Chains A and B, each alone.
Chain A
Amino acid sequence: MFLLKLPMELSGWLGRLILKPIFYMINMITFSLFALNDWHKNHPLFKRSSYQNIVSQIIFTGIDALPAITFLALVAGFLFTFRLIVMLDTLGGTDNLINILVNVIGLEIGPLISAFILVSRTGSAIVVDIGNMKLHGEIEGLELLAININDYLVTPRLLSCAISQLALTVYFTSITMVVGIVLSSILISSGHLQLLSSLSMAISPMMLVAFVLKNLIFGFFIAATACYHGLSVVKSPTEVPQQTQQAIVNSLIMVFVLDSFLGLALL
């Protein structure tokens, strides 16, 4: 009897395993679309007042994160850019050096490290903030005042995170590239300084679009995951750390999955 049931149970387990992330993704996209729709209804796209709340979120998400991202960019400049130049120099493949730097540092490492910082810093803060608001009935209080939560709390975070992720990645990548190239020109060959001038030529319009899209999508979904888990807190204080942990793990998985899909799309 057990042996007869085993294939059924295994297939059921496998089905649930596959369906769970698919439903999670559908939930996340639906949640984000509803939030954007509610925001769009109340805020004309080209009105300055529509963006006041978003600007204050950008200050927290983007500007306050600058010291951490500057330090990491300096370290990454040595760890990735400089070492990549040294390796390629040793192997003699300097012809494509600038293309490799743009693809590896600009399109992969930069967005990923900025996303890690956004997940660990802003994502976790959003879950704790919204989770505690939910727990203390503050969200219910806002709803009782006819304040739309999607409009007031969720969408400003989604948009500000998307913009901040893009801005932080531009900042991070620029520092990482410059530090690595300058170091290599001091320690290996002064000719490497020319790489700085050829950087702008190496970035194709397609690459630029991919870079902007990737970062906007990363930031948007990091915030969406955080808001979704924050609002999933129901009534126990123990749910806040649980939801924070889930949001961080799911955000990181989502960043890698999205990165893979976008990488495939760019091939």
Chain B
Amino acid sequence: MKSPVMQALIQCQAVKANTSPDKYMGNELDFSIEQGQVIALLGTDIENTNNWLKTLAGVYYPSSGQVTFFGKGSSQFTKADWLKLRKEIAYISKDINLLSMLSGLANVMLAANYHKIANPETVKSNALKLISQMELAELAMLLPVNMTRDQQLLFAIARALMLEPKMLFLEAPLVQFDDQDSFKELIFDKIRHQKMTLVVSTQDAQFIQSYADKVVFVDKDCIISFNNSNEFFMSDNPQIKRIIKKVPTL
């Protein structure tokens, strides 16, 4: 059962992502993301898809059009607004980006302590609670270099969740995991339960079918948004059909 439509957290009006012209020459995107939705973004070119994801998250400026975040157009944003936005919209890139000199626990506490979300003792106890919920307690004192990619990704998600964001953007998270089912269970089910809005770039059709409320497909010469996953799977677009055919899970 899909989440009920609430208020638009992000509204795109005639948006074109900040990609090079040889990567994207298509139409503009008119699209909205509401509270509690899970959005899947997929495309033929991963870099192009991630540029669109970054544009939707406010990491990149759009090359044209306007993205409205929480009711305020990005063109009216001040420096303070952008900083506030980065706390409200967590973005985990595919490179993960944990600080290599800090342990897993210190990484998780870092942003919360920097922004003084609570006093350091409370931050530590919250971080430990979150880490144990994510089944990472044994790894808390390890440096990122001693972790696998999927463990690093989980720590990066925990670090972002410590700021209590309204939305979570994940760049190709399923690629990092050998055991994708446990990750889906651990992260997506929990996030869905918390009604957090989730935007994911993925090529995993099974994920799209099980979780996505909306799907956005990006190709070199077009961007198409679908209001539900069924619309996506029923699409006549030859590129989409080709992508669906390639996926072994369907």
Contact = CB atoms under 8 A, between A and B. Distances in A.
Interface of A: 129, 132-133, 136-138, 140-148, 152
Interface in B93-152: 93, 95-101, 110-111, 114-115
A145 B160 contact: yes
A145 B59 contact: no
Contacts, number: 56
Interface in B58-113: 59, 83-84, 86-87, 90-93, 95-101, 110-111
Contacts of A143: 86
B114 A136 contact: no
Contacts of A137: 93, 95-97
B114 A147 contact: yes
A155 to B, nearest CB: 13
Interface of B: 59, 83-84, 86-87, 90-93, 95-101, 110-111, 114-115, 156, 159-160, 163
A147 B84 CA distance: 11
A138 B93 contact: no
B114 A141 contact: no
Contacts of B59: 144
B97 A144 contact: yes
Contact of B86 (A129, A132, A144, A152): A144
5 contacts: A138-B97, A141-B98, A145-B114, A146-B84, A146-B115
Contact of A138 (B91, B99, B111): B99
Nearest to B160: A145
B86 A141 contact: no
A186 B107 CA distance: 56
A140 B111 contact: no
A141 B152 CA distance: 13
Nearest to A148: B83
Given A145-B160, A145-B163, A138 B114 contact: no
A40 to B, nearest CB: 15
Nearest to A145: B111
A57 B11 CA distance: 44
A122 to B, nearest CB: 16
Contacts of B90: 144-145
A138 B98 contact: yes
A102 to B, nearest CB: 41
B10 to A, nearest CB: 16
B107 to A, nearest CB: 9
B99 A141 contact: yes
Contacts of A141: 93, 95-99, 156
Contacts of A145: 86-87, 90, 110-111, 114, 159-160, 163
A146 B86 contact: yes
A52 B159 CA distance: 21
A141 B156 CA distance: 9
A136 B156 CA distance: 14
Contacts of B159: 145
A144 B114 contact: no
A145 B115 CA distance: 9
A141 B96 CA distance: 8
Contacts of B84: 146
A8 B168 CA distance: 58
Given A141-B93, A145-B110, A146-B115, A136 B100 contact: yes
Nearest to A129: B101
A148 B83 CA distance: 9
A133 B84 CA distance: 24
Contacts of B163: 145-146
A23 to B, nearest CB: 26
A196 B239 CA distance: 86
Nearest to A136: B100
Nearest to A147: B114
List 10 tightest A-B contacts by C-beta distance, closest first: A141-B97, A146-B86, A145-B111, A137-B95, A137-B97, A146-B83, A144-B91, A146-B87, A147-B114, A138-B99
